[in-house]
Structure 1
């Protein structure tokens, strides 16, 4: 199987997330306090040409949790904990958790992407290369379900019965590093294959259109100064050199919490 497949909801965020390759795990500094540095994420995203001056975003009161569409309660806690370490928030800007990345991943896995409806999945199965995209026999939904169970079992064996979500931030970071470096043995597929998909989906959820559940309140777009798919710039095209201060707009308008049903 040789396909380079992306989730449907990743279309708006794919170009943005591609810029984050400059901050891939292989370039992380050793001894960093967070698993992934917010500074490195933002610097990589700012490599895009469409960087404009937009109002900064700030954390808001947490909204009621949305009903899960795929994950069990324990699986969702894993996703919340892992994505929060991959793109951590701070007192000024939201991270993956505040931007709704777990909601994005949950909704994607319950739909055509999770089932691999549009992919060729008949084999033969080979390791492939990064350029060939997803190469596993499991659908993304099956991959997440098996991998989360395997990682939680690994954590319980080594941390007094605690699953991943209950570990300290430092231990959570180490588990993610071990996944990326294939130091954890999972059934049916390499640990790094799961980490790669998790990291890709986390970036997509942080930078995709809010209609897919992530990038809540345009958190990711505001962070990098991306205005969204605005329909026209008639009033701005002659204002050379002036900062662009209009708020972002998504495919469903300016409500950064509105999702596709």
Structure 2
């Protein structure tokens, strides 16, 4: 992937947040709360030292696909001194949970043929829905890595993973069943969404991404601070469930 002209990770992620739809920040699944969300919020407020959550078990991805998602998102947003990476923020969990939504099934898209690739201005023209893009893309990317390096993607070192991701982004890697750039774009967009979404959807664990860029979250009123350019927001973010940091 080409090096960002922004000099700090915080600056890059602040700019990336602009590319994430508002629905991804406040609620990627239509703003609905899963069963027990209110009770969970109350428990979090009354038990600040609750026991750590059990490790998440993916529902859509199999073990090999899950290893790819974890390895790839870790390289797209790695942890450093300024904040947590995609793994610490729960991005893989977010992506897996999104695969059970109408969005991932293409229910919100027009999916009737003919499927003919036209000029970019016409937008997405493939017959693949997000679930298909991931399933075909991961298998094809692992096959590409096995042929080129003798290992699946997750078994490669960090530098080689970056080279593979760069080849996918540029469309230089030849994948069977799905265009490499389409697969990379889907993965990158969902990684951004998972990093900045409301924690109710599995990503942005502990609202760490919001704290890092100074985003207030689902606060009812922060307009007094909108035009105070350069001034840090003095209060921590709030999630949809009412959880505070």
- Would you say 1:228 and 2:199 are equivalent positions? no
User: Equivalent of 2:97, from 97, 104, 107?
Assistant: 107
TM-superposition CA deviations, 1:41-76 (whole Å, max 9, x none): 23525879xxxxxxxxxxxx9853212121011101
Give 2:195's aligned residue. Answer: 206
Give 1:167's aligned residue. Answer: 156
Give 2:107's aligned residue. Answer: 117
Cα distance in 2 between the residues matched to 1:223 and 1:40? 10
- Would you say 1:154 and 2:154 are equivalent positions? no
TM-superposition CA deviations, 1:96-117 (whole Å, max 9, x none): 1111111111011122121111
Call closer, same or farther: CA 1:188–1:231 in 2, change over 3 Å: same
Call closer, same or farther: CA 1:65–1:193 in 2, change over 3 Å: same
Cα distance in 2 between the residues matched to 1:38 and 1:126? 39
SS in 2 for 1:114: coil
Call closer, same or farther: CA 1:143–1:42 in 2, change over 3 Å: closer
Cα drift, residue 132 of structure 1: 4.6
TM-superposition CA deviations, 1:140-192 (whole Å, max 9, x none): 101100110011111112223x1100100000000000001111111233110
Check the 8 A contact 2:94/2:194 in 1, yes or no.
Answer: yes
- Would you say 1:42 and 2:13 are equivalent positions? yes
Q: How many residues align?
A: 209
TM-superposition CA deviations, 1:81-133 (whole Å, max 9, x none): 10111111114410111111111110111221211112111122132455554
- Would you say 1:195 and 2:184 are equivalent positions? yes
Give 2:45's aligned residue. Answer: none
- TM-score, normalised by the number of residues in structure 1: 0.71
Call closer, same or farther: CA 1:131–1:205 in 2, change over 3 Å: farther
Cα drift, residue 223 of structure 1: 1.4
SS in 2 for 1:78: helix
Call closer, same or farther: CA 1:46–1:183 in 2, change over 3 Å: closer
Check the 8 A contact 2:214/2:233 in 1, yes or no.
Answer: no
Unmatched 5+ stretches in structure 1: 1-24, 30-36, 49-60, 257-261
Greater CA drift, 184-193 or 132-141: 132-141
- TM-score, normalised by the number of residues in structure 2: 0.75
Give 2:70's aligned residue. Answer: 80
SS in 1 for 2:103: helix
Cα distance in 1 between the residues matched to 2:216 and 2:100? 29
Cα distance in 2 between the residues matched to 1:142 and 1:228? 32
Cα distance in 2 between the residues matched to 1:154 and 1:177? 13
